Chain A
Amino acid sequence: MSQFSLFSSGIELANLVVSSGLLKLSWDKISELYTELNQSEEIRWKVYQQPQSNCIIVAFVVSPNRTKQLLEEEELVPSSSLPFFHFLRTKIDSSFSISKAAVTLFDCVLDQLSSFKDRVGNSISMIITGHCLGGSVASLFTLCLLKSINQPGTKRPLCITFGAPLIGDKGLQQAISQNLMWNSDFLHVAASQDLVPRFFISPYNPNAMEIDSQIGIYKPFGIFLLCSKYGCSSLEDPEAVSEVLVAMDLEIARNKPPNEQWHMFDYGAVVKRLMSTISFKGISQLSEMIECPRQAGIVLQLQAIGLNRRQQSGDSNPLIAKLEKCEEAFVSKRKMGFDPSKKLNKRKEDMAKLEWYKKVSKSEDKGYYDSYKNRGSKKDLHVVTFKKSLTNYWKEMVAEVERMPQKEEASFRTRWLYGGTNYRRMVEPLDIADYYKENGKKDYKANGRSEHYIKLEKWLEEAGKPLSSQVITRKQNVSASLTEDSCFWAHVEEALIQCELLRNGQEEESTRKKLIEFEEYVMEQIKEYAVSPEIFLGGSSFMQWWKDYEQIVGTSYKSQLTDFMKSRLYQQYH
């Protein structure tokens, strides 16, 4: 709906989170866990069962000393040495990096967590929470859980971190924000007075001066709940989050002595204050007349997180204008997102038209492949248009699937497999016809085949179960069905070329061998009832080949296929 771009709902979402009471619930567990932390312990985690509900809370805390130590290093570990997170990789961008601090701590508890994960499964709602670096570990553990969530309807976990530093680079950000559901499973609470959340992004970080510093490589993901003593707001667009974190840093740096000692920030007081402000009205006056609801929303948001206290509008405050742009871009990107179900009916129409074309061509004793190849009439030209829209649709679809992380991709593509296979079997022969029409072109499979056909075919193989059922039912329907191997006609064209070569007396040995291979291939297909009887129509390229071939091999040659053809058994093939 078009109101998407009219409003900015960050404050509402933030207040929903606060009034739901989940922040308080999570923080209470964290502070309880801190009291149990031993002096010698690096990291501690514990599972809390909620009374009277099917919900558990998993909390992580890291000892303050260790935290201080680890925060000094901002090194990143590349995904190539993180086999455990390989499932996050997409086909397009396959590399990402995660902060070494987080990975080191996560490795300490990995074994325990794995067995816990296997025990619990996805049947209960789970909140994973942690403070500071404990939050980083909580994020990594949540990622592991997402790996095993596939089916819609399973309980989604919710990760709530308090004052956690950023943990990954742009690659990780993209891997997670690719999927809307994944991205909204992470809620990072960051107070404006707490340095840690913006530690790795702050231009004031002393490490930032060093040449090999990796500051600035870190990127946020998930939803950020930013709070100050004035209120709170949420941000989802990673670009906007980066902007605001930096702006917060500048604002605080202005008001504080630069060399203040770092300490663990207590979120208990923050949460309590946020809860108590629910019943307060907040401001109702804007110093400047702002008529655009979205701009007003952003002004309110900035005020809530302690920036822009002077209530400037977009003209005088560049941050507002920037955020507005971010929001716009973010929303329109989401709106433009490819929704395969949207145009599905239109594509069904195209398929129906093609089917009709096939039928008409058959009645002309030619088969739609050859009819299209020869372009003898107007209707053949028509086909070009709807072939094009179908191809575009499926190309886009395949590209979309490629962008998804592997885990999500699998379930998505099985849903569309049936339509995709039908499309491939129907349309690819036409592409083959186009390819061989240009004189002299050879070897379609190696040179001419579009990537998306290859992918679609591979999915079908990977899906394991053959789409068309048993040979018997196939036999019943063979007259109406499509040739299963969408490259059948490419084989035929190659065979035709080989016949031509033989007639010109070239490359005797290998060519003959290829033709015999083709013979066997065709016979195999016929036995399986995997080809459409259309290939035996008088005007078909296949019959053309047979005439050529019959001449070349002469009457004495005998094989299964020649028997089949000579005895005209094919007339009963339907």
Chain B
Amino acid sequence: MIILRRLEFQEQECNVTNNQRSKTGDSNSESSTPKERDNEYLKQGLPAVEGLSNEFTNVKKAVRIEHDTFINTCSSLASRIVEIRQLVTRCASSEIGSFLKEMKGFLEDCEEELKLVREKQNRTMELVKRTAEYYQARGSKEKWEHPLQLFVIVKEFLGMVDRVCADIIVSFPSQEMSEPFSVLDKRNRFTRLILFYLRKGREETRSETMASERLGEVISMKEEVIKKACSIAMKAHELPEKQLYLVEKNGGSSDVIFGFPGSWSISDWFSGSPFGEKKIDPHPPQFASLRSIGNDQVATVNEAFLTRFQAILPQLQNEVGKAVAERKQIVFTGHSSAGPIAVLMTVWFLENLEKFIKSDPSTSRMPPICVTFGSPLVGDFIFNHALRRESWSHYFIHFVMRYDIVPRVLLAPLSSLEPELKIILHFLNPKHTTPMPEPTEEASALYVTVMRNASSVACHAACHLMGNTNKLSDTLLSFVELSPYRPFGTYVFCTGDRELVVVKNPDTVLQILFYSSQLSSEVEGPEIALRSVKDHLNYQSDLQNLETKGVAHLDNLQGLPLSSNVGAAGLGLVLNNLGLSTRARLCLCAAGELEEQKWRNLEKINKKKIDIERGLLALEGYKTRCEAGRLSYYDAFKLSKDTDDFNANVKRLELAGIFDEIKEMLKRYELPDEFEGHREWIDIGTRYRRIAEPGRPKRYRYTQRWLEYALKISAGSSGESCFWAEVEELCLRTINMGLFEDVKAHILSLEKQVDKWVQDRELGDDIFFEDSTFVKWWKTLPQLHRSGSCIAKFINN
């Protein structure tokens, strides 16, 4: 927070100097070109921001202090002193020696010193507490656990700043400074990024301040862009049949907007399976990220939308490439069934962003934005899980009118609504020319069917959110199939009453999708049903006066008012506007609680990092000691002769316990989606896997998949930790059967892999020790084979 304030201050200062400079620049007319000016700004700005991190090194150190131990150290020391003193007095009664004298003196010194330390501690804590209180947002409900948490927050922020700076330096080689345009662009980006993080930081500490902001700020996107995107999304529907997309680029503007036309034929919405769903084909890996890594499950998407996306992609690729080269902010947009196309385009773009940068390092690193209006759902919960893991989900903004039926329509199977949907789609098609009566009956039928299915999906999800352990909800699934689709990204609900509600938690979105279109009375039925269809075309007119709309977030879900007659302002008002009943509110609370629980689980796991670290160090130490004894640690462990071997075994089991726990949580999706993307955990997992893999239980497979995924390599190729298992296997085969020729191919491939692993330093030299199982076995192979082997060089040395 201090830094936030400082940064804001610096920004102001910078602006002031900028103004001054520009004034002086004006007066001195040609003395400084714009290019030089920009250089100047950057030279000033970057080091100042970078310097922050150095300035706060002590804060970073302070983060490592554990509050409780810190507080209790003094008292525990004091109690020990008392103990010693008692011992000393007891000794004193029996004999008097110089030791006792010495001891007494020492004790006195100790007490003196402890007093001082205590005083200092109290003073420091007082200071920290006051600082924390000052910076804690006023009226904030969520209190920090203890004042030291201030340091954690500051450190996290510093991390963000560092990352931004690194980004800038990487994408900003000094030779390029001669080009004024790029500098300007980068500087813009620099301030934008900083502002983005400032906002993010602010958002995290904000309590209930709402309705006072503008949408653009909340989702960090300009209102004009949203409006322009909306108009392009609608205009795209009018395109002639053959044209598959619409591009809007103004020379001056920094954005390029791609819009797609929707389709109104039912076969472009549903195909094949009951809900038109299809698992993403892992080969070729067009969407390599769309899976759950450890669990090794791929995401499911709507097949019809995927097919359409694939038809459009080849035509679009070049145009996108051009825009990237021009360092434009790319926006994909779509209304109705074009929404999913925009979504898939965005995911495709994100998947290939690295490639764009690799092929041309000067291209912009700016992530794309995806804006959809009344889009049907696209993917399942793994789709959402993957986007969150990659931290991509905030690039997706979905606008949904409160009653619009289309975003909910894929919650029902095709068989239940085909005839009605056909007519409704025809009615919605902007290209249809012959006037058509309002489809009142079809709308009602469609509304009832969709609501019934949405209710199943929402209630099933709610049972899970509320921690229901009853197996009935699962047993039911063997009789009725539920829609696999789930929302993802940021949803903006338009309640129609000059208000927008921003929701980021996908579980919450699902519940709102169902509950917000419930009826308050039977009379309302036909009217709402018709509205649920007509609202689908009202996005443009509703978003006309976007700037004047109030904005509310629905992210802090704990402590929602459960009844509509309390809190007619603030959150209560928002919930009333969405028409959420007490039942609905309870579901939202549960969604918030589950998310909170996931973070608590993560915290619990993170606390174990120290244990893991200690265990790994012990095992790695063991390995070194074994190597010093010219015995590979695998063999030493197998023989298990010394206490050292035994301790290693106990450590191994301890680690196994922790990793099993993590594996179980991942399997049940009880950790935040981001977990498997944490570099730190991937590293720890890999270290663990390499050091402790005698057999091959599942936990290793999880960590192996993390690594393979992070390095973007093919599955199964980083099996170096299975090395010993393979050796043992081959030992058995060559000894028992004796026929070398049978296993020759296997041996050759192992040797080749070993060669590679050793060169990549993934396997240690210890496998080549004289007494290692591997060498002993290798020496039993035929001479002819050994002389020509690619690893002979290692063993003969």
Where the two chains meet, the residues of A that have a C-beta atom closer than 8 Å to any C-beta of B are 1-4, 6-9, 11-13, 15-17, 19-22, 55, 125, 127, 155-156, 158, 180-181, 184-185, 187, 223, 236, 275, 278-286, 289-291, 293, 296-297, 300, 334, 345-346, 348-349, 352-353, 356, 359
Contact = CB atoms under 8 A, between A and B. Distances in A.
The 5 closest A-B pairs by CB, nearest first: A345-B657, A16-B459, A7-B466, A9-B466, A286-B563
A389 to B, nearest CB: 14
A281 B589 contact: no
A290 B582 CA distance: 11
B453 interface: yes
Contacts of B521: 280
Given A3-B593, A6-B467, A278 B451 contact: yes
A13 B470 contact: yes
B562 interface: yes
Nearest to B563: A286
A13 B589 contact: no
A350 B466 CA distance: 37
A156 B478 contact: yes
A155 B478 contact: yes
A286 B564 CA distance: 8
B226 to A, nearest CB: 30
Given A13-B472, A16-B456, A352-B653, A55 B479 contact: yes
A13 B478 contact: no
B654 interface: yes
Interface string B503-537: 00000000000010011111001000000000000
A439 B462 CA distance: 64
Contacts of B520: 280-281
Given A1-B670, A3-B593, A345-B653, A8 B466 contact: yes
Interface of B: 447-448, 451-453, 455-456, 459-460, 462-463, 465-473, 475-476, 478-480, 515, 518-522, 525, 559, 562-566, 579-587, 589-590, 593-594, 597, 600-601, 640, 643, 646, 649-650, 653-654, 656-657, 660, 670
Tell me whether chain B's interface is mostly helix, strand or loop, or mixed: helix
A285 B564 contact: yes
Contact of B463 (A6, A16, A127, A185): A16
Contact of A158 (B456, B479, B566): B479
A67 B12 CA distance: 86
Nearest to A275: B452
Contacts of B467: 1, 3-4, 6-7, 9
Contact of A281 (B448, B473, B581, B593): B581
Contacts of A22: 476, 479-480
Contacts of B566: 289
B590 A20 contact: no
Given A7-B467, A279-B447, A359 B582 contact: no
Contacts of A185: 472, 475
Contacts of A282: 518, 581-583
Contacts of B563: 284-286, 289-290
A349 B583 contact: no
Nearest to B558: A293
7 contacts: A1-B670, A3-B466, A3-B594, A20-B480, A21-B480, A125-B479, A289-B566
A53 to B, nearest CB: 8
Given A3-B467, A291-B559, A348-B653, 20 more contacts: A1-B594, A7-B589, A9-B466, A13-B470, A15-B455, A16-B455, A16-B459, A16-B473, A19-B455, A21-B452, A125-B478, A278-B451, A279-B447, A281-B515, A284-B563, A285-B565, A286-B563, A289-B563, A296-B582, A359-B640
A223 B660 contact: no
Contacts of A156: 475, 478
A73 B451 CA distance: 45
Nearest to B559: A291
B570 to A, nearest CB: 16
Nearest to B521: A280
Nearest to A337: B469
B701 to A, nearest CB: 17
Nearest to A289: B566
* Residue among B456, B466, B475 facing the most chain A CB atoms (10 A cut-off): B466
B452 to A, nearest CB: 5
B459 A345 contact: no
Contacts of B459: 12-13, 15-16, 19
Contact of A293 (B562, B580, B584): B562
Contacts of A286: 562-563, 565, 582
A352 B579 contact: no
Contacts of B585: 284
A20 B476 contact: yes
* Residue among B475, B522, B600 facing the most chain A CB atoms (10 A cut-off): B475
A279 B516 CA distance: 10
Contacts of A184: 470-472, 475
Contacts of B583: 11, 282, 300
Given A8-B466, A284-B581, A1 B589 contact: no
Contacts of A20: 456, 476, 479-480
A156 B470 CA distance: 14
B447 A3 contact: no
A285 B475 CA distance: 33
Contacts of A280: 518-522
Given A158-B475, A281-B519, A284-B580, A291 B451 contact: no
Contacts of A289: 563, 566
Contacts of A19: 452-453, 455-456, 459
A290 B583 CA distance: 13
Nearest to B478: A125
Contacts of A300: 582-583, 586
A158 B470 CA distance: 13
A356 B646 contact: yes
A349 B650 contact: yes
Contacts of B447: 279
A349 B476 CA distance: 41
A180 B471 contact: yes
A345 B660 contact: yes
B590 to A, nearest CB: 5
Contact of A346 (B472, B564, B657): B657
A346 B601 CA distance: 20
B272 to A, nearest CB: 15
Contacts of B654: 345, 349
Contacts of B646: 352-353, 356, 359
Nearest to B525: A279
A43 B334 CA distance: 60
B479 A13 contact: no
B590 A3 contact: yes
A385 to B, nearest CB: 14
A167 B564 CA distance: 43
Nearest to B415: A52
A13 B463 contact: yes
B763 to A, nearest CB: 26
A388 B597 CA distance: 34
A13 B587 CA distance: 12
A5 to B, nearest CB: 8
B581 A283 contact: yes
Contact of A223 (B470, B518, B565, B657): B470
A12 B462 contact: yes
* Residue among A181, A187, A281, A359 facing the most chain B CB atoms (10 A cut-off): A281
* Residue among B448, B472, B562 facing the most chain A CB atoms (10 A cut-off): B472
Contacts of A281: 515, 518-520, 579, 581
B403 to A, nearest CB: 12
A127 B582 contact: no
Contacts of A16: 455-456, 459-460, 463, 473, 476
Given A1-B670, A155-B478, A285-B582, A9 B463 contact: yes
* Residue among B479, B525, B643, B650 facing the most chain A CB atoms (10 A cut-off): B479
Contacts of A3: 465-467, 590, 593-594, 597
